[in-house]
Chain A
Amino acid sequence: MSILVNRNTHLLVQGITGQEGLFHTEKMVSYGTKVVAGITPGKGGEWVLSGKIPVFDSVKIAKNATGANATVIFVPARFAADAIFEAADAGMDLIICITEGVPVADMMRVRNFLDQKGVRLIGPNCPGLLTPGEAKVGIIPGNIAIPGNIGVVSRSGTLTYEVLYALKNLGMGVSTCVGIGGDPINGTNFIDTLMMFQEDPETEKIVLIGEIGGTDEEQAAEYISNHVTKPVAAFIAGRTAPPGKRMGHAGAIVQGGTGLAEDKIKALENAGVKVAQHPEEIPELL
């Protein structure tokens, strides 16, 4: 078991003929992910990866032709909201958006629309999902994690890779790694993911990697103290970040006294979560 993606995931790639889309499709396929088709409007009928994967003009056509059950989006930021709406309208119930730089107004419309439809979105501005040994959806390097019982959820990219790699070096495996993304408005938050990990029989321990900005970690802490019985270790980045500055991620900003790392750490500790001083401490806290 695992959450969200596994060997039964039949994946579409929106923006498959773009540079990023094609590059990462190849990585996903060589990892063993079942990529069944790609979408690039205007390029329907073409094939990529030496004729292995068909390209369709729309998500609807691709879904009907292949029976795909998830889609990953690599289109440029200005087209991302449209790509998500299209996927949701075509009846995809799991959408992973890797794209960085989506306008926040677009994301608010997307999120409110998806909530009405009951569609799950991961991201945007995220590295995607990895269920080691089964499926890699997005850009997380496949070779840095091994199968196991630790669920990882994070707002960050390379910081997460760092933790995965440290776990792997100690022989500790991962059930699923979920990159929820660094934007202020995203599709799936910590609580959604914690809920799935809590219910997943294969996940025995959880790692939560947060950062400054917003109050998602505080809300997660409250959820953990009430609903999560599995041990949780955490790391929060940005203790030294100056207020009012966006630290790379659109959502990583301390504003009007909210979003501080100290508040998040305190809330998590009060919920019984072991919080690491730096990411290399995480394996020992588990």
Chain B
Amino acid sequence: MKLHEYYSKRIFGEYGIPIPSGELAKTPQEAQKIAKKIGGAVVVKSQVLVGGRGKAGGIRVANTPREAFQHAEDILALTIKGLPVRMVLVDQAADIKKEIYLGITNDRSARKPVIMASAAGGVDIEEVAHKTPEKIIKCHIDPLMGLQSYQSRDLAAGIDLPRQHWRAFGKIALSLWQAYIGSDATLAEINPLVVTGEGELLAVDGKMVLDDNALFRHTDLEEFRDLDVEQEAEIQAREHDLSFIKLGGDIGCMVNGAGLAMTTMDIIKLFGGEPANFLDIGGGASAEKVAVALEIILSDPNVKAVLFNIFGGITRCDLVAKGILEALAKVKTNVPMVVRLVGTNAAEGRQLLKDADMETADTLAEAAKLAVAAAKG
């Protein structure tokens, strides 16, 4: 789950990282009030979960409260990369002398978190990593020991940070690590971490991504999930404990198991079709789950055919077939369906479906070809 900038920085602040004073506004009036309270120049920042906000005109400096009103009004009317701007953060403008990058993420192949710093802050760090990887200093963190002080000194020295800032930098790095672990984050980054004219370090922008598997430890954060970045169908699927991702094609897929679901998409493409979705209905394939899943698939008007690919292992195929028929009795549709059942009692299952005039297939290849043909009409 991605967190907005304002909330990421609020967490950073709670862990002792210096952040600009600022507040969230949902209307231009609120933005003006906040700017007045802060006094002096402010930055009005759109809160949407995409990169490139600045380029899209979603971040603007205002020198007066009146200007803050104007900018907020303009920004709140924007749609950035398909996402409507619903709120802006009004932050005190910082006197920026230097911009650096500091972030923590998990290094999958090292099986450890890694903390990274770069003197090239304020720009897209993935671009830096791609073009000039030597400008990023990395240090793995032992998950059993946590970040050590010498490691943040190594980072500070590695990015040529003047020595007078090492202590403040070390404190921020340690706080960022604590925020990372404390929130079960998979990404926590400050970009940029600025050195101000007064020689202070300040986290001007922040980003956090949390581990969805750990949200049970952070139930208070669930309400900050931004549903704008998700498709309606994906939200509905999550409520029913289904794993669903919408894609661009016209062949709906209903599969048990994530690996098999990806394989089903791949084979549709291999035989000239385009999958409309990824959907894993999980192990059992009960009638209720199949019905909900079918409704979600058919809510996409582009879907011209649906391919069921179910492996019956512990759940027998004849029971799965009954579940599919029950679900189809509940969900009325004219969209053609192709069903492939394989595994325990597959023959019995297929017979049940054939008796109900459904198109069935023995192999995955055959099922995919039938579905592709059905979608083409």
Contact = CB atoms under 8 A, between A and B. Distances in A.
13 contacts: A104-B211, A156-B260, A211-B259, A237-B266, A238-B262, A239-B266, A240-B268, A240-B275, A242-B247, A247-B258, A248-B259, A250-B212, A251-B108
Given A158-B260, A248-B278, A278-B263, A113 B363 contact: no
A173 interface: no
A156 B213 contact: no
Contacts, number: 160
B364 interface: yes
Interface string A147-177: 0000000111111111001000000000000
Contact of B278 (A27, A160, A165, A247): A247
A144 interface: yes
B313 A214 contact: no
Interface in B339-375: 342-344, 363-365
B364 A277 contact: no
A185 B107 CA distance: 10
Contacts of A118: none
Interface in B270-312: 270, 275, 278, 280, 311
Contacts of B259: 154-160, 182, 209, 211, 237, 248-249, 252
A245 B237 CA distance: 15
Interface of A: 27, 77-78, 101-106, 108-109, 111-113, 139-141, 143-144, 154-162, 165, 182, 184-185, 209, 211-212, 214-216, 219, 235, 237-242, 245, 247-252, 256, 261, 277-280
Contacts of B364: 162, 278-280
Interface in B207-253: 211-214, 216-217, 243, 245, 247
Nearest to B312: A141
Contacts of B213: 77, 101-104, 250
A155 to B, nearest CB: 7
A141 B314 CA distance: 6
**Shortest 9 CB-CB contacts between residues of A and residues of B:** A156-B259, A248-B258, A158-B257, A141-B313, A159-B259, A103-B214, A237-B262, A108-B143, A158-B260
Nearest to B216: A78
A159 B259 CA distance: 6
**How big is chain B's contact interface, by range?**
35 or more
Contacts of B175: none
Nearest to A261: B266
Contact of B256 (A104, A158, A182): A158
A158 B275 CA distance: 19
Given A159-B259, A212-B262, 15 more contacts: A103-B213, A104-B106, A104-B211, A105-B181, A155-B259, A162-B260, A162-B342, A239-B266, A240-B266, A240-B269, A241-B262, A247-B262, A249-B258, A256-B126, A280-B363
Contacts of A240: 247, 262, 265-266, 268-269, 275
Contacts of A185: 106, 108, 111
A108 B146 CA distance: 12
B14 interface: no
B65 interface: no
Contacts of A237: 259-260, 262-263, 266
Contacts of B257: 156-159, 161, 248
Given A165-B343, A256-B126, A108 B211 contact: no
Given A105-B211, A159-B263, A27 B313 contact: no
B144 A113 contact: yes
B103 interface: no
Nearest to B364: A280
A19 B130 CA distance: 48
A112 B268 CA distance: 40
A182 B268 CA distance: 23
Interface in B112-137: 112-113, 126, 129
Residue of A155, A161, A280 with most partner-chain B CB within 10 A: A161
B245 A247 contact: yes
A105 B184 contact: yes
B311 A161 contact: yes
Nearest to B256: A158
